[in-house]
A and B are shown apart, each in its own frame.
Chain A
């Protein structure tokens, strides 16, 4: 739309109107080829276990589709969590404001390509409770939930303003009480996360986290906390002034790749990949053959492309 407006002073109104109609019709047609899928990997989690979610927006058509900035923070991708009594679970998230350059068309999604966003539900959905705010931003109590997602193709500006909603199939998620072994592990992780908020123990936070993760990768790299600690856990370290140095970052990239490889079909694997490219893009390998044909591998392909062209087009 911005491009059309820019030309308005030089183009007769009737031609402009026809152009807008054709552009709108063309966009509507292309948007039909978008498919939004929510991946949770499994349907039951223990209370306090990170609930990883991957939102996949795929172009199943034969033409490139231009879409608004993709990601929960940009508001076009939206997820709603409801309880089985239909009440909406509160959500506190980041709201990022993207300003385009004049004539910006959007983010291109070529035929067969997809965009990925990963999250941990407790990063913003939930209530005050025993696991918040130190372990998670919000606490997700025992219960049954339904997760819905939609992507609004209405760009913040550009030619897509008359867009439409792309809806994902709702996903059911259950949170059950912890079993005994899960309780032990939950308490271990919670104690590590509490260290970041204890001034006397803050300096030991990063070392304790990395040590726990290394040990767990050696014994059980399918552990559900690993990707979370390597992403949100390090984010907290950065925030409280205890971020990793260069040597530790190499170590963390290797750990993320280990977790992504073992959990490559799960959103946790994709989350490990997203944190790798988000925190240390220059240290991530160009392509990892072990991730091919997996959710984590597909996410890696997208982030790899973003690394080559870091600026919005």
Chain B
């Protein structure tokens, strides 16, 4: 699996090339309503390489159990900013964080942990591209069978208070970790659709990585766009139960007309980052 790959639902090899508006259907209490998020008008599709890797234990299950993951994440970025990721898999089998002890979990992200996560990425990825690591279990996340809050993913970021909504060019920040086993365990314990949770968590992390998007709860000034009825901005923290409701998350947005100087919505900030080059 070393070739650069376009993604189609459920398999590697082809990516849908539709330029039509993306339809996103939302179910709300009391019935169904539909809405349309239009692909931004007059914008060429920007393609960024995205290296994806997973710990060995997931190699045989990541795609079969989550056939829409890469495809749906792409649909979100394409639908809101005409950015697509060309996923490729040069180093698909990631080693365990401590190869001496195969059961070692990933550490809590605080304290000494930045050293481990940044060094691991430095050793195991192509630093010239964006990257996503699908890894196992973080030590302080709930054990299997427990429906409780959890850390679904993390991304190295410069201080967002001083550099909000900007893509950080430093090589050691080009990666996001998603705790796949914890997504599975929590989703099962909470009775929600795990692939939906995984798609939302991955989209959220790549929002941080690709465009420096901020968290909506901490920086509401950058998330003043609207979202369709019954939906929420994927950069906002909502409950695990909410994460499991939709298989195509949404960013907040103004409309389908590009607003290049707008920083008040995810879509505006995604527009602003479209031309980013390493």
B65 within 8 A of A: no
B67 within 8 A of A: no
B123 within 8 A of A: yes
Q: Are B237 and A100 in contact (CB under 8 A)?
A: yes
Q: Top 7 closest A-B pairs, CB basis?
A: A243-B98, A239-B119, A71-B110, A235-B116, A231-B112, A73-B109, A311-B142
Given contacts A94-B114, A123-B114, contact A238 B149 (CB under 8 A): no
A133 and B123 CA atoms in complex are apart in Å by 13
Q: Are B158 and A92 in contact (CB under 8 A)?
A: yes
Q: Are B148 and A312 in contact (CB under 8 A)?
A: yes
B108 touches which one: A71, A101, A156, A232 (CB < 8 A)?
Answer: A71
Q: Are A238 and B104 in contact (CB under 8 A)?
A: yes
Q: Are A98 and B110 in contact (CB under 8 A)?
A: no
Chain B stretch 102-137: residues in CB contact (< 8 A) with chain A: 104, 107-120, 122-123
A313 within 8 A of B: yes
**Please, what's the 1-or-0 string for B233-245, where 1 marks a CB less than 8 Å from any CB in chain A?**
0000111111100
B100 touches which one: A99, A103, A244 (CB < 8 A)?
Answer: A244
Name B residues whose Cβ lies closer than 8 Å to a Cβ of A: 95, 97-101, 104, 107-120, 122-123, 139-143, 146-162, 168, 170, 172-173, 190, 201, 204-205, 208, 215, 217-218, 237-243
A interface bracket (residues with beta carbon within 8 Å of B): 35 or more
Given contacts A98-B149, A239-B116, contact A156 B215 (CB under 8 A): yes
Name A residues whose Cβ lies closer than 8 Å to a Cβ of B: 2, 69, 71-75, 78, 80, 88, 90-104, 117-120, 123-124, 133, 137, 152, 154, 156-157, 161, 196, 231-232, 235-246, 249, 271, 274-275, 278-279, 281, 306, 310-313
Chain A: which residue is nearest B241 at the CB level? Answer: A102
Given contacts A95-B208, A123-B114, contact A312 B152 (CB under 8 A): no
What residues on A are CB-neighbors of B151 within 8 Å? 96-99
A123 touches which one: B112, B147, B148, B170 (CB < 8 A)?
Answer: B112
A101 touches which one: B143, B147, B201, B217 (CB < 8 A)?
Answer: B147
Q: Are A154 and B95 in contact (CB under 8 A)?
A: no
- A–B Cβ pairs within 8 angstroms, 20 of them: A80-B159, A88-B159, A94-B109, A95-B154, A95-B208, A97-B237, A100-B237, A104-B149, A123-B114, A156-B215, A156-B217, A156-B237, A237-B98, A239-B116, A278-B107, A278-B139, A310-B140, A311-B140, A311-B146, A311-B148
Q: Are B190 and A99 in contact (CB under 8 A)?
A: no
A2 touches which one: B104, B152, B159, B239 (CB < 8 A)?
Answer: B239
A69 and B152 CA atoms in complex are apart in Å by 13
